Amino acid sequence: MRKKNRTVIKLLFLLLFFLFAGIWLFTGRKAGVDENYSQKRVSIAEVTSELSFGVYEKENWDAFFSAYHSDSLTSDILKDLLKTLELTDYIELPGMTGRHTVTRDEWNLAYSQILDLLDMERSVQKKTVLILDTMEAKEGRVLITNEGDYYTTLPEAYFEKWNGYELYCEEENCLGIVGISDRELAVENAYLTEVSDGEIAFLYGGDFYRKEIGTTKQEAEEGVCDLVFSGGSLVSLRMKQEMIQGALLSYDDTSIEIENYGKIAHPGKIPVYQTYGEVTEKSLSDVILGNMQVEYVTGENQVCAILIRQPAEICNIRVLLLAEDGGNTRESVYLTCDTSAVMKCGDWEEHIEAGKVIPASEFLAADPSRTLILTPEEGGQITICDANGVAASNGYAGSIEVRAREDGYTVVNDLPFETYLCAVVPSEMPSTYAPEALKAQAVCARSYAYIQLLRADLAEYGAHINDSTSYQVYNKVPATDASKTAVSETAGEVLTYDGSTVEAYYFSTSMGYTDTAAIWNVEDENAYGYLKKASLLLSQEETDLSDEEDFLSYIEAKPEAYDSDVKYYRWFASADFAGRTEELNAILMNRRAVSERNITFYKGNGGDELENPSASTVGELGKITGLTVEERSASGAILALRISYEKGSALVRTEYNIRKVLGACVQKIVYADSTESSDITMLPSAFCAIVKNDDGKLTLQGGGYGHGLGMSQNAANGMAKAGMNYEEILQYFYSDIKISVIE
C-alpha cells in the first residue's frame, strides 16, 4: 500500500514538474516574440503600430487584439482583422489555415494590400535605412539612421547597429519592419577624425562613432568621406577631395551662393564641420554670411559639406533694403553711383562711370540665378533711383547686390559693420541729443546688430537684417558727425551678460519705469535676466503697480522722470469696441497664427478652452461685450487682457498683441502736450488703465511709447543732460551687464 502511494506521489510530482515547465517554456517563448525580431513571426504589438495610419485609434486595436491569447499574429487573427476592416473579399490569404503563425513575408503581402486599399493618402512609406544607434525616448526609442531619426515603439532588440532595415514609416515614425536589407547603404559626408589599425572614428549627425575596418583596405585620412556598409560591416570608404573656398553670401533649401562662384546646388542637408580646436558639427546658420572664409566640399556639381577652418572675423554686415511698401522685393531696381564703380554679374565685369543709371533687369533677365554687384571706388556712395536717375533713397556706403526672385528683385547693402552703425544711430536717435546718450545708443545698436549677425533669419535673401523697425532703422537719416563720433568713441563695444552678447533692446519713452521680459510671455525669463524693472523717476521711488487702483493713481499723478518732458510720457485715448467684433477677431486669429500660446479662446461660462479655433468657431462666441485687465506687471504693463464675448471670452498676452487689440478700438488719442491723433492702429504702449465710461465706451489712460524693455532713449538723453556718462546710463538700464569689446 505504501509503495503504491509513493508511486502516485511520484506521478503527481512529475505531472506538476511538466506543468510548470510547460508554463515557463510557453511564457518564455511569448516573451521572446516581443523582444526579438523574427522573420518567422510578427508580434501583435508591431501589427498594432502598423495599423495606426487608419481610422482606428491604438486603443481600438488594443481592444480588438485583447480577445486573442497570442503575442504573435496567426492566420485566424488575420482573418478576423480583415473582416473587421471589411477587406475579406479583397485580400487573398493563400495557404493559411487554423492557428497557423503568420510569417513576416506573409504579413507584408497582406499589409501591402491593406495599404493599397485603405491608405488613400499614401502616408505609410517604405524606407531603407542603416541603423547607427538607438536612444531611449518617452514610451519608445529613437532610431538614429543614415537617413535621419525615426521614433518607434518597437523593442530595442529588434535592431542591430550597422545593419540595414527596410521600414514601414509614417513621416518620422517607424511603424514596423519590412525586413532586414542586404543592400549597400552609405553614411554620406561624414567627417573622418581618426584612422588606426583596424578601426576608424567619424563624426556624423552630431555624434561620434567608432567602427572596425575589418579586412577592408582603404586609403584614408582626416576629412569628409562616404562610408558604405553591408551586412554589419564596412565595405567601402570614399574620401572626398574636391574643394573650393569663399565667403557664403546666401542660401535656401536648394542652393547656396558662394563669393566668386555664384549659386551651387546642395542636396537639402549640408553637414557643417568646425575643424579648428576640437572637431565639432555645426549647422549652416553657424556660417556667418560674408564674414567667414570657409571651404566647400563638392561632388557631382553640388556642395556636399562645409568646413569651418577658423573663427569668423566680423567686418561687414549685410542689410536687406525694403521696398517703399515694406516688402522684401521690388518690381524694378535702378541704381546710380556718385563715383566710378565696378559692376559684376556672374563672370562678366564692367567699369561704370559716375552718374550712370543701371537698370538691374537688363543684366539679370538672361540668367536670374546670377547676382548683380555694384561696388563704388573708395568713398563713393550708391543711390537707389528711378529710371531717370532721380534719387529714391539716401546714399549707401559699401556695395549693393541685386538678386532676381519670382516675385521681384531684392536689394542688399553689404558694408563695414561700424559704418552701418553710423547710419543706424541718427535713424534711431536724433543727432541733437547729448553725446553720451548717442554713445549709449551706439553700444545698444552694436550689441543688437551683432546678435543678428550670428543668426540666419534672412539668409535666403543674402542678408543678416533689414533696414526697418523689425530690426533697427538704418539710413533713413544719413550718418552725421555726431553719430560718427559716438560710434568711433565706442568702437567694438557691446553689452554682455553671463559672458554672452545680449540683444540690447531699447524703446522711445517710458512712463516712469521699464519692465521685464514677462511682458513678452517668454518661456524662460532667466535668459533675459539683464532686462530689469528700473525706476526712471527723479525721486528714485520704487512702487508696485500691479494693482489696478494703484496703477491708475500713478498714471494720473505724473511724477517727474528723466523723460517726463516728452509728449509720450502721458496720454489718454477714447476707445470703443462696439461694432468692431469682426475686426478684432481677425486681429486675434492673425496673432494666434504667429503664436498660439498668446491668444486663447474660451467658450461658455465654464471657461473650457476652445480647441483649434477657426474664424467660424470664434464667430460663434458672439459679439464682444467688454475689455478688462486680467493681469498687470509690477511695472504697470498689462500682461493679460480679457476680452468678453456673449458666449465666451479670449485671453490676450504680450504687449504687442495687447497694443494691437486696444489700438484698433481707439477713436482719438491726446498726448501730454495736447496734440491729438485719430489715425493710430496700435496703442503707444501697454502701460495703460482701462476705465469704463457711463456710455459704455472706454478711456485708456497710459504713458510711454514702445515695448518698455531695456533703455528708454529719451530717458537716456535726460540722464546724459544730468551729467551721467554712457557707461553709467547703460548700467542703469540693464542688470548685471558688462561693456566688452568684440574680439
> Do 180 and 163 touch, CB atoms closer than 8 A?
yes
Domain 185-239 listed as CATH 1.10.10: no
pLDDT, one tens digit per residue, over 547-600 is: 999 999 999 999 999 999 999 999 999 999 999 999 999 999 999 999 999 999
pLDDT, one tens digit per residue, over 197-206 is: 788 999 999 9
- CA distance linking residue 359 with residue 373, whole number of Å: 12
DSSP structural state of residue 473: -
Residue partners of 269: CB distance under 8 A and separation at least 6: none
Residue 16: pLDDT band by 50, 70, 90 thresholds?
very low
SS3 state at 506: strand
> Do 249 and 238 touch, CB atoms closer than 8 A?
no
E strand or H helix that includes residue 19: helix 2-35
Q: DSSP 3-state helix, strand, coil percentages of the chain (rounded to 5)?
A: 25, 35, 40
Residue 20: pLDDT band by 50, 70, 90 thresholds?
very low
- For the four alpha carbons of 220, 226, 230 and 233, in that order, the dihedral sign comes to positive
- Per-residue pLDDT at 27: 38
pLDDT cut 90: percent of the chain above it: 82
Q: Which residues is 638 bridged to in the sheet?
A: 632
Residue 2: pLDDT band by 50, 70, 90 thresholds?
very low
Arithmetic mean of pLDDT, 486-494: 97
- CA distance linking residue 272 with residue 306, whole number of Å: 5
User: Taking all residues of the chain, what is their mean pLDDT, rounded to a whole number?
Assistant: 91
Where do the domains of the chain lie? Answer: 44-118, 124-181, 185-239, 243-308, 316-482, 500-543+710-741, 549-702
Q: Which residues is 614 bridged to in the sheet?
A: none
DSSP structural state of residue 630: E
Phi, psi at residue 642, to the nearest 5°? Answer: -100, 125
Residue 21: pLDDT band by 50, 70, 90 thresholds?
very low
DSSP structural state of residue 119: -
Question: Pairing relation of β-strands 408-416 and 316-320?
Answer: antiparallel
> Do 152 and 174 touch, CB atoms closer than 8 A?
yes
pLDDT cut 70: percent of the chain above it: 94
Question: What pTM, to 2 d.p., does this model score?
Answer: 0.84
Question: Residue written as cell 532588440?
Answer: 157
DSSP structural state of residue 357: -
Domains 124-181 and 185-239 are alike in CATH topology: no
- Of the CATH numbers 2.40.50, 2.40.160, 3.30.70, 2.160.20, which one belongs to the domain with range 124-181? 2.40.50
Residue 493: pLDDT over 70: yes
- CA distance linking residue 320 with residue 177, whole number of Å: 49
- Per-residue pLDDT at 3: 44
Query: For the chain, how many residues are written?
Result: 743
Residue 62: pLDDT over 80: yes
pLDDT, one tens digit per residue, over 86-104 is: 999 898 877 766 678 999 9
Residue 25: pLDDT over 90: no
Residue 368: pLDDT band by 50, 70, 90 thresholds?
confident
- Per-residue pLDDT at 60: 84
> Do 315 and 416 touch, CB atoms closer than 8 A?
yes
DSSP structural state of residue 292: -
